[in-house]
Amino acid sequence: MISESTTTRRIVAALHRREFTKTASYFLLLILSYYLGYLSALIKIPSYHHATTTKVNSPPQTTDTDHYLFQTRCADPIPSQLFHQTILDRIFNGSSPYKDFPQPHIKPLLRYKRIRGWGSTGLVFKNLIHKVKPKTIIEIGTFLGASALHMAELTQQLGLQTQILCIDDFRGWPGLSTRFQDIKMVNGDTMLLYQFMQNVVHVNATERVIFLPFSTGSTLETLCEWGIFADLIEVDAGHDFHSAWSDINRAYKLLRPGGVIFGHDYFTAADNRGVRRAVNMFARVNGLRVKADGQHWVLDTV
């Protein structure tokens, strides 16, 4: 009995040991596969990064210079007196978009006047308008019209017949409505364009300030194809490097000889998002010197 029970105990103990080793090996296997999976994931991530870095290090392909090319050849310039009507004809089906504005269902959604801008009345506007005496100004990034209407006032004070072309999709940016709750929204459509128009109407500037409510990229290309050029161009739309780079390159082609291009956020908290890098790179590539005026950068034509 004793020996039997001892044997049984030994067998049970052995079985337990086997159980243990079985459990342990399952456990080890699990850890191992997990570890392998983890390792392979680790290997995958750097190999992805690696791919992008080696591309930069590999000999330049011809396509690598594509971001420097903004090739569209602009049409011959049309006379500046025709700009306003050309835009009405080709964008607004021949009549002023301010006609019958605001429609009765829109009027209650608007404030009589609602202006808010960023550095929109800096001295740079006065300095450059006095210097250039522009017949045509293109503004890239208008929002509620703070800077556009400031320029309209400055040019009027000088007795200039200046046409101001405002390019903005009037969408603002994702999340606009949480910050500007008084700019109403209708079925997800912000009333930014209408509030801007209301601001223009409020100061009687509907003849002098016309707008092109589309993306900056397509609009600047279109103005180039239509032969619409400017003496003064202000850049203040997207502030990331790629937006600024594209806007500046496209806009520069629309400058008349002797014209000046300038823009916001060279010296503000927003500049490190890319405006300053884009401006500096543009100047370097084109052999220009960047001048600063307050928060703004300024580039002359050569």
Ligand X SMILES: *[C@@H]1O[C@H](CO)[C@@H](O)[C@H](O)[C@H]1NC(C)=O
**DSSP 8-state class, residue 140:** E
Residue type for position 177? S
Task: Select the span of 3-11, 93-101, 233-241, 253-261 touching ligand SAM (CB under 6 A).
Answer: 233-241
- Is 181 a residue that touches ligand X (CB under 6 A)? no
**Contact between 163 and 80 (Cβ < 8 Å):** yes
Give the tokens for residue 278.
Answer: 């884009």
- Could you tell me which of 213, 211, 122 has the C-alpha nearest to residue 172? 213
The site string for ligand SAM over 70-109 (x = CB under 6 A, - otherwise) reads ----------------------------------------
Instruction: Identify residues 169-188 at the interface with ligand SAM (CB under 6 A).
Output: 169-172
Residue owning tokens 């884009």: 278
Instruction: Identify residues 237-276 at the interface with ligand SAM (CB under 6 A).
Output: 237-238, 243
Give the tokens for residue 291.
Answer: 């001048």
- Residue 190 has phi, psi (to 5 degrees) of -70, 145
Residues 6+ apart with CB under 8 A from 180: 116, 172
Rounded to whole angstroms, the Cα distance separating 288 from 292 reads 13
Instruction: Identify residues 86-115 at the interface with ligand X (CB under 6 A).
Output: 93-94
- Is 147 a residue that touches ligand SAM (CB under 6 A)? yes
Contact pick of 204, 218, 272, 280 for ligand X (by CB under 6 A): 204
Task: Select the span of 61-69, 74-82, 106-114, 162-170 touching ligand SAM (CB under 6 A).
Answer: 162-170
Residues 6+ apart with CB under 8 A from 298: 124, 128, 260, 261, 262, 290, 291, 292
**Contact between 297 and 262 (Cβ < 8 Å):** yes
CA angle 93, 78, 139 (to 5 degrees): 70
Instruction: Identify residues 204-223 at the interface with ligand SAM (CB under 6 A).
Output: 215-216
Min. distance of Cβ 40 from ligand X in angstroms?
58
SS3 assignment, position 211:
strand
Task: Select the span of 1-9, 19-27, 76-84, 139-147 touching ligand SAM (CB under 6 A).
Answer: 139-147
- Is 190 a residue that touches ligand SAM (CB under 6 A)? no
Rounded to whole angstroms, the Cα distance separating 23 from 278 reads 62
- Is 236 a residue that touches ligand SAM (CB under 6 A)? yes
Residue 120, contacted partner among ligand X, ligand SAM, none, CB below 5-8 A by kind? ligand SAM
Give the tokens for residue 89.
Answer: 């004809």
Instruction: Identify residues 34-93 at the interface with ligand X (CB under 6 A).
Output: 93
- Is 203 a residue that touches ligand X (CB under 6 A)? yes
Min. distance of Cβ 123 from ligand SAM in angstroms?
14
Contact pick of 80, 83, 110, 120 for ligand SAM (by CB under 6 A): 120
Give the tokens for residue 167.
Answer: 């390019």
Nearer to ligand X, 33 or 204 (CB): 204
Nearer to ligand SAM, 168 or 231 (CB): 168
Rounded to whole angstroms, the Cα distance separating 96 from 26 reads 78
- Residue 299 has phi, psi (to 5 degrees) of -130, 130
* Site residues, ligand SAM (CB under 6 A): 117-118, 120, 141-143, 146-147, 168-172, 215-216, 236-238, 243
* Site residues, ligand X (CB under 6 A): 93-94, 203-204
